[in-house]
Amino acid sequence: MKTVCAGVLEVAYREAGPPDGPAAVLLHGFPYDVHAYDVVAEQLAAAGVCCLIPYLRGYGPTRFLDAATPRSGEQAALGADLLAFLDALHIDRAVLAGYDWGGRAACVVSALWPERSKGLVSCGVGYNIQNIPGSGRPVAPEAEHRLWYQYYLHGERGRAGLTANRDAFCRLLWQLWSPSWAFDAETFAQTARSFDNPDFVDVVVHSYRHRFGLVPGDPAFVEIEARLAAQPEIAVPSIVLLGADDGVGPPPATDTDAHHFTGPYRREIVAGVGHNFPQEASDAFAAAVKGLL
């Protein structure tokens, strides 16, 4: 485990592979942590890739440097954290790869600072930049049903429930989102330790309220959020990996995200895989990263 001061955070991260190898930043989602990449990092390190795997804000040993910093979980904050992490480690360009929140951070940096992204691997949602101005429009009832956990966190009952039952809440999401993944108790437990971070609840609740325009964001990120509201294109080489069994966002047969990508682009749906793509399909994820390097 290493740490680095990056922007408003002291970021804890794991490193695998030769330090002078081509860099890949592997970014986890909610409610997961760096263990999602244990096998992926081993495979990439063996291929000479320098893997950097940070704990996101609110997870594991990562900490805010100032008690006064808003505990924001908004997309601009995640993108800014990733950019600051690259700067702190003096990484000019890297393959940015992630899913869920981590995929969002990778998409934000690839769209707004393409010179820092050698390529993008995005899982679960291909174009993972939120359209917050349009978030009030309802979607199909079956899709609304799958987002119950987000609506739960919009109220104080949800905050209290996450605070009191964070392990049980997150374990349920693992089960619902990856119905074909037979993870064991220890696999979940080693990640669940990351949810004991003192900022976990505040960051998670803010994320799921901000994306629907229910709470203001951190004033430091107003300009970035304004740029993201325009739904910027992603021009870097991109690979989108989708699990056919993803319980929160089943991939549509028609690619509705392709128009957001203006560079080389490939979309692949993998059978028998749910939401936690890198941990469930390590070979496919590692191959995508290596393909971009």
SS (H, E, C) 27-45: ECCCCCCHHHHHHHHHHHH
Under the banding of pLDDT at 50, 70 and 90, the label for residue 47 is very high
Distance CA 145, CA 41 (A): 34
- Write the pLDDT tens digit of every residue in 202-247: 999 999 999 999 999 999 999 999 999 999 999 999 999 999 999 9
What is residue 275's DSSP assignment?
S
Predicted confidence at residue 210, as pLDDT, reads 98
Band the pLDDT of 175: cuts 50, 70, 90.
very high
**pLDDT at 234 (0 to 100):** 98
Residue range 136-168, pLDDT digits in tens: 999 999 999 999 999 999 999 999 999 999 999
Give me the percent of the chain exceeding a pLDDT of 70: 100
Mean residue pLDDT of the chain comes to: 98
Nearest alpha carbon to residue 178 among 135, 123, 128, 138: 123
Length of the chain: 293
The rounded distance, in Å, linking the Cα atoms of 261 and 248 is 23
Q: Which residues contact 71 (CB under 8 A, 6 or more apart)?
A: 57, 58, 64, 199, 202, 203, 206
Using CA atoms of 173, 179, 180, 186 in order, give the dihedral in degrees to the nearest 10.
Answer: 40
42's tokens: 């081993």
Residue 284: which residues within 8 A CB-CB, separation 6 or more?
241, 268, 270, 273, 277
How far apart are alpha carbons 35 and 188 in whole angstroms? 10
DSSP track, 121-182 = EEESSSS----GGGTTS---HHHHHHTHHHHHTTSHHHHHHHHHSHHHHHHHHHHHH-TT--
The string of pLDDT tens digits covering residues 241-287 is 999 999 999 999 999 999 999 999 999 999 999 999 999 999 999 99
Q: Rounded distance, CA 131 to CA 259, Å?
A: 15
Quick one: pLDDT band at residue 128, thresholds 50, 70, 90? very high
Quick one: pLDDT band at residue 78, thresholds 50, 70, 90?
very high
CA distance 52 to 72: 23
Cis amide prior to 250 (ω within 30 degrees) = no
Which residue, among 129, 102, 107, has the nearest Cα to 119 in the 3D structure? 107
Nearest-angstrom CA–CA distance, 52 and 48: 13
Structure-block tokens of residue 43: 């495979």
What domains can be seen in the chain, in order of their start residue?
2-292 (3.40.50.1820)
- Report the pLDDT averaged over residues 110-131: 97
- For the four alpha carbons of 135, 137, 143 and 149, in that order, the dihedral sign comes to positive
- C-alpha torsion sign, points 139, 100, 87, 191: positive
